[in-house]
Amino acid sequence: MIVDIGGGTTEVAVLSLGGVVHATSVKSAGDKFDEAITEYMRSTHKLAIGETTAERMKKEIGSASPPEDGDGMSMNVKGRDLITGLPKEISISQRQISEALAEPVAQIIDTIKRALEQTPPELSADIVERGIMMTGGGSLLGNLDKVLRRATSLPISIAEDPLLCVVMGTGKALEEKSKLSDVFASD
């Protein structure tokens, strides 16, 4: 099973014998993570922040689960106070970011579980043995692999270069197009 968490969508696919057995997707990925952080800042802290700030927060202290003890790392965030209209700076913790990301992470988990339920039983043994491979920039969200492991009880691994591996794999597939004729649509 491959889970590709890109910018706009999370793609979940079960592969066997060089083909796709089952595939599904959900519009919950990196962009939704950023939107969830932005909305959390607005509703909880009455602070308007931009997309760039939300993405920086996600990359620097983002976590799919709260720290086991305490609030974890923190960072100062600047934005516009929605009450006074003036610039303001506050400190945000890793625990708070995990709260902000709870919904989009839950959507990804639900999509993976649905895909597992629809996977033919004969392939389930392979998935139990080999687990789930995560790709895409969203797979770099802190503790996401642990959250998925806990939710599915399956081994979870992150691709060596998750940001580029899908593009690199597509390039290799195009180089080997003649060997993969059943995967590509005929002209």
Tens of pLDDT, residues 83-112: 999 999 999 999 999 999 999 999 999 999
Report how far residue 161's alpha carbon sits from residue 168's, in angstroms, rounded to the nearest whole number: 10
The values of phi and psi at residue 48, to 5°, are: -90, 125
Q: pTM score, two decimals? A: 0.87
Domain ranges for the chain:
2-29+105-180, 31-100
- The CATH topology of domain 2-29+105-180 is Nucleotidyltransferase; domain 5 (3.30.420)
Tens of pLDDT, residues 122-178: 888 889 989 999 999 999 999 999 999 999 999 999 999 888 887 887 787 788 777
Q: How far is CA 62 from CA 73, 92, 126, 173, in A?
A: 9, 11, 32, 33
Task: Please give the CATH number for the structural domain made up of 31-100.
Answer: 3.90.640.10
Shortest CA distance to 28 belongs to which of 4, 1, 62? Answer: 4
